[in-house]
């Protein structure tokens, strides 16, 4: 018996026969390779440097300027004609709610629409069906706190159907988004096995450079048919949030040459203001003043600026905007009772000499006694709550 065998017999059985762990084997292999060792060291240094910057998630590209376009401006709330909404909540966790919408004299709303909503910690489902049998719906599913899959469907009577698939990934300091509108894959027997794609595909990334500044890119690929040529473009994005988060600037240089910038400011705890400016470069033909025939083209720049404000109080919310074309619009939501709100919106376009008006009522009822008491600011025993429910 050799000296090594004698020494091995003296060791415990677990130490004598236990192999190297996968981490030990992997570490010894990669550390012995100079190329992989250089890559791993570079990645570790970059990762530690990113952690030292204390970067935060910048949000999604879709919400790049949501503080102005969705919160302050009233494009998401404006309607015309007469409108009545009846909302009924059956449960709060998970949330299940139905809604009936009636309208008269509106150019954008159907005469009747029924919608239902279900949401829990991971799933969100919403569907809408109107009197023309046009169906629309969306589904969001969160696989974890970082990954969310989204599906949007629309089947309209007399209009092309729409299907949008989307995937969101939220990391600690960047966001990725991939979406495809009406994707279609066809195989050509005479070519390779790679299918031809038609539809619209969009990919975007938004990366935090500093705790306040974020930069991003958005890639667009469009192909109407498998045999037609494809179009592609790149948009550049930026977003800056102040340290106190009381003002935000965002900018977009779109693929079509348009430049859109917005600025949001928290004036007081109840007042917000926003401004948005868009510039579009283009070409216009030059015609001969005598013959009237085109003799060339010249570059031109068209732009528009919109200024808006939002006043939010305990029982009412007011939004108002005015733009450089002479259009003035306002939206008022007043809560008369805990379950009843009055809606009013109006618009005057001085350049076109047009005006629009909308009035509505919104009823909110509860499907059980507990939710009804919460809507009235009371607990299950009828005692006032410390704060009204959202």
How far apart are alpha carbons 165 and 170 in whole angstroms?
A: 17
Reported confidence tier of residue 192, pLDDT bands at 50, 70, 90: low
Q: Are 379 and 369 in contact (CB under 8 A)?
A: no
CATH topology of domain 58-375: Porin (2.40.160)
% of the chain with per-residue pLDDT over 70: 83
- Ranges of each domain in the chain: 58-375
- Contact (CB, 8 A) for 137 and 127: yes
Task: Give residue 138's pLDDT.
Answer: 93
Please give the pLDDT value at position 23: 45
> If pLDDT is split at 50, 70 and 90, which confidence band does 365 have?
confident
- Scored b (16 or more CB within 10 A) or e, 96-130 reads bbebebbbeeeeebeeebebebbeeeeebbbebbb
pLDDT digits (tens, 9 = 90+) for 310-348: 999 888 999 999 999 889 999 999 999 888 999 999 999
For residue range 98-111, what is the model confidence (pLDDT) as tens digits? 999 999 988 888 99
With 0-12 / 13-18 / 19 or more C-beta atoms within 10 angstroms meaning exposed / middle / buried, residue 81 is middle
pLDDT of 262 reads: 95
pTM more than 0.85: no
Bridge partners of residue 199, in order along the sequence = 223
- How many Cα atoms within 13 Å fall on the side-chain side of residue 94? 10
Grouping H, G, I as helix, E, B as strand and the rest as coil, residue 10 is helix
pLDDT tens-digit series, residues 254-304: 888 899 999 999 999 999 999 999 998 877 777 777 777 777 787 788 889
């Amino acid at each position: 018996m050799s000296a090594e065998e004698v020494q091995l017999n003296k060791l415990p059985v677990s130490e004598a026969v236990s192999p190297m762990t996968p981490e030990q084997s992997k570490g010894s292999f990669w550390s012995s390779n100079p190329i992989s060792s250089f890559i791993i060291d570079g990645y570790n240094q970059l990762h530690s440097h990113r952690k030292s910057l204390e970067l935060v998630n910048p949000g999604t590209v879709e919400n790049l300027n949501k503080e102005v376009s969705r919160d302050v401006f009233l494009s998401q709330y404006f309607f015309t004609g007469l409108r009545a909404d009846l909302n009924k909540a059956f449960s709060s966790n998970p949330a299940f709610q139905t809604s009936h919408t009636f309208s008269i004299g509106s150019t954008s709303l159907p005469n009747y629409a029924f919608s239902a909503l279900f949401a829990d910690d991971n799933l969100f489902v919403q569907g809408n069906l109107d009197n023309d049998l046009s169906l629309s719906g969306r589904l969001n599913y969160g696989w974890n706190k970082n990954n969310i899959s989204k599906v949007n469907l629309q089947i309209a009577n007399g209009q092309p159907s729409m299907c949008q698939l989307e995937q969101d990934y939220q990391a600690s300091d960047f966001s990725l988004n991939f979406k495809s509108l009406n994707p279609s894959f066809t195989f050509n027997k005479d070519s390779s096995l790679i299918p031809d794609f038609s539809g619209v595909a969009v990919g975007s990334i938004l990366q935090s450079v500093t705790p306040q500044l974020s930069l991003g890119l958005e890639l667009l690929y469009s192909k109407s048919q498998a045999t037609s040529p494809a179009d592609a473009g790149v948009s550049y994005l930026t977003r800056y949030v102040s340290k106190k988060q009381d003002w935000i600037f965002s900018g977009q240089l779109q693929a079509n040459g348009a430049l859109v910038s917005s600025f949001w400011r928290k004036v007081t705890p109840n007042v917000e203001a926003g401004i948005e400016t868009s510039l579009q470069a283009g070409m216009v033909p030059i015609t001969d003043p005598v013959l009237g025939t085109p003799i060339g083209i010249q570059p031109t720049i068209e732009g528009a600026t919109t200024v808006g404000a939002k006043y939010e109080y305990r029982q009412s919310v007011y939004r108002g905007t005015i733009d450089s074309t002479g259009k003035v619009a306002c939206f008022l939501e007043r809560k008369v009772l805990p379950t009843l709100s009055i809606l009013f919106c109006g618009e005057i376009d001085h350049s076109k000499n047009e005006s629009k008006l909308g009035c509505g009522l919104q009823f909110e009822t509860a499907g059980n006694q507990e939710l009804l008491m919460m809507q009235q600011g009371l607990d299950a025993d009828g005692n006032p709550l410390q704060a009204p429910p959202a």
